[in-house]
A and B are shown apart, each in its own frame.
Chain A
Amino acid sequence: MSLINTSVDTAIAIAERRRGKLGEALYSGRPNTVLLRNVYALKSSTWLVVLSGFVEPVFYLLAFGVGLGRIIGDVTDGNGNPISYATFIAPALLATSAMNGAIYDSTWNVFFKMHFGKIYQAMLSTSLGPLDVALGEIGWALLRGFVYACGFTLVVGGMGLIPSLWGLLAIPAAVLIAFGFASVGMGITSYLKNFHQMDWINFFMLPMFLFSGTFYPLSIYPDWIRVMIEALPLYQAIALVRGCTLGNLDVSMLWHALYFVVMIVLGLLFTTKRLRALFLR
């Protein structure tokens, strides 16, 4: 029965190597193994569901950009240059799909794994810590977000809706946006007790999608509404991606990016604390 193996580290030796390092009770340095688990799970999952994350923004683009855009005609970008309506909303749809994908992964998927699959319970009875789990799951959401963003950018670029070569930056921007939403979303999910409460998230997300400068510029709002909208993460996301695809790279882009860096850091702290409270209490 005994399998003597001297050349390979034991689980204990591996775990002891982290002794004395910062956050050793929370982190083992292996979020990649959480990602690996998702790769295995993906192999036997429904590919149609996977594909839907890509198809959704394309449908929106066809309906609103191409369909509705014919009636609307040209609009102007921030600098007063005329652009087609589809060119105006394409970056907003990319930002929105990055958000939706990240929120879907960090709410529905995480909720299921937490309460029904008991996946995290099993992970946290190994030498993984809650931060490994959080980073692994968020990393997975980002990987999906990256693939979707590449696909969408390719389609939109192919339709000639990305006037600037800077538009390629929209892909890393989408990943940054997804990171922000996923890290906060996972923490929020930890508070939810049933599927019904998941509707609250949609209650917040849909108006944000409609009113964050997705389909028209914020300049039509009175000042006080505009300031409120500008504080919302989706507005920040749209401004960031739109700046990339239209090639309007000014200083404000840094602020939009910083918004997400802060969101990521706070979200990770929040989520790790919550996972610890849930599973290691």
Chain B
Amino acid sequence: MPKSDASASSAASPELMIVAKNLTKRYGDFVAVDGINFEVKKGESFGLLGPNGAGKSTTMKMIASTSQRTDGELSILGKDPNDHGPEIRAHLGVVPQQDNLDRELKVWENLMTYGRFFGLKNSWLKAKIDELLEFAQLEEKRNSKTDDLSGGMKRRLTIARGLVNEPEILMLDEPTTGLDPQARHILWDRLFRLKENGVTLVITTHYMDEAEQLCDRLIVMDKGKIMAEGSPADLIKEYSSKEVLEVRFGSANNKEIASQLEGIGERLEVLPDRILVYTDNGEGALDRILAKGLHPVTTLVRRSSLEDVFLRLTGRSLAD
């Protein structure tokens, strides 16, 4: 579906698909995006990670040239969205946060009309749609109304619709929010395939596991600003320890007991329901806690995740 030949030819020098400099969006007094800088390279899977209200969706809309920036520079494939909106949108596939499929139309008709909006020809679209329905595993639903599809199917159809113009960049805003685990995994698999075919992906998410699974590189956003940038592994290395020990002493006691844990591990994070001990050796840290005569209700040793990075950077967890 995407043009795999194109990605191979430019492998030598990575082409910049998106360049944002001091990108800013204000709504009245409210600053939604506060002077951010980033670049997205060809074939890359780029993530915008942050809690709700961090400015991710606004950034996505500016890239998709459906929202005008207030300040700064933005270039998509060398084009300014202020001047060449329709042209830029021809390069993009957009999968919005809330499905906006046409409920008055059937599955096949949704894809056909969307393709026609780009000016693509009927005959070409017919073949393309067959291919997309297969990709989205919706061949048997081609004549169904979209209301009859499950949440996962709707999302796959929205992605298929976003691919009808063979975009170079696919923009996915919270692609798996509201889906059950199985539907998520099917979707991730489809997105991996697109990436293998050389499509540049730009993904917003507030799910850590999704960012770790899908993104080569990401920016962590909070309150319209970029807090950190890098690959998931690099970010974890830089902002967290190798392992994390989670101990629970019951919500009433966590705070009090935390003072007795000072010195164990590199750093402590006291949350309302648990204490996180950042250390390179989780089991070792647990032994030292037990040696002090403390008895946590539950304990868990795990690897550091992006959730820990976010907590470190903002002092809040993503779910807030």
Q: Which residues of A contact B (CB under 8 A)?
A: 1-3, 5, 8-12, 14-16, 18-19, 24-25, 28, 30, 33-34, 36-37, 40-41, 44-45, 117-119, 121-129, 279-281
Stretch at the interface among B40-48, B90-98, B210-218, B309-317: B90-98
Are A12 and B128 CB-contacts (below 8 A) given A127-B118, A280-B66? Answer: no
Asked if B113 contacts A14 (CB within 8 A), the reply is: no
Q: Which residue of A lies closest to B67 (CB)?
A: A281
Q: Which size class do B's interface residues fall under?
A: 35 or more
Asked if A24 contacts B90 (CB within 8 A), the reply is: no
Asked if B1 contacts A15 (CB within 8 A), the reply is: no
Are A33 and B119 CB-contacts (below 8 A) given A3-B131, A8-B124? Answer: yes
Of B64, B85, B113, B166, the contact of A36 (CB 8 Å cutoff): B113
Q: Which residue of B lies closest to A12 (CB)?
A: B90
Q: How far is the CA of A33 from the CA of B91 in the complex (A)?
A: 19
Given contacts A3-B128, A127-B89, A129-B85, 17 further A-B contacts (CB under 8 A): A1-B135, A2-B5, A3-B1, A11-B166, A11-B167, A12-B90, A15-B118, A16-B87, A18-B87, A24-B84, A28-B119, A117-B100, A121-B66, A123-B117, A126-B89, A126-B165, A127-B87
Q: Which residue of A lies closest to B124 (CB)?
A: A8
Quick one: which of B1-39 are within 8 Å of A by CB? 1-5
Decide if B109 is an interface residue (CB 8 Å cutoff).
Answer: yes
Asked if B113 contacts A125 (CB within 8 A), the reply is: no
List of B residues within 8 angstroms of A280 by Cβ: 65-68, 85
Quick one: which of B105-126 are within 8 Å of A by CB? 105-106, 109, 112-114, 116-121, 124
List of A residues within 8 angstroms of B83 by Cβ: 25
Asked if A119 contacts B102 (CB within 8 A), the reply is: yes
Number of A-B contacts (CB under 8 A): 140
6 pairs across A/B with beta carbons < 8 Å?
A10-B166, A14-B120, A15-B87, A125-B89, A126-B114, A280-B66
Decide if B193 is an interface residue (CB 8 Å cutoff).
Answer: yes
Asked if A14 contacts B84 (CB within 8 A), the reply is: no
Of all A-B residue pairs in the complex, the 10 with the closest CB atoms, nearest first, are A15-B90, A11-B165, A118-B100, A126-B117, A41-B104, A11-B118, A14-B119, A127-B90, A125-B94, A127-B86
Q: How far is the CA of A19 from the CA of B80 in the complex (A)?
A: 13
List of B residues within 8 angstroms of A16 by Cβ: 87, 90
Of A25, A37, A129, the contact of B105 (CB 8 Å cutoff): A37
List of A residues within 8 angstroms of B193 by Cβ: 1
Are A125 and B96 CB-contacts (below 8 A) given A1-B135, A24-B86, A280-B67? Answer: yes
Q: How far is the CA of A123 from the CA of B113 in the complex (A)?
A: 9
Q: How far is the CA of A125 from the CA of B63 in the complex (A)?
A: 11
List of B residues within 8 angstroms of A12 by Cβ: 87, 90-91, 165
Q: Which residue of B lies closest to A133 (CB)?
A: B117
Decide if B295 is an interface residue (CB 8 Å cutoff).
Answer: no
Q: Which residue of A lies closest to B162 (CB)?
A: A125
Are A25 and B84 CB-contacts (below 8 A) given A1-B135, A8-B120? Answer: yes
List of A residues within 8 angstroms of B197 by Cβ: 1-2
Decide if B127 is an interface residue (CB 8 Å cutoff).
Answer: yes
Q: How far is the CA of A117 from the CA of B131 in the complex (A)?
A: 26
Asked if B131 contacts A1 (CB within 8 A), the reply is: yes
Rounded to whole Å, the gap between the CB of A277 and the closest CB of chain B is 10
- Most chain-B CB neighbours within 10 Å: which of A9, A36, A118, A126? A126
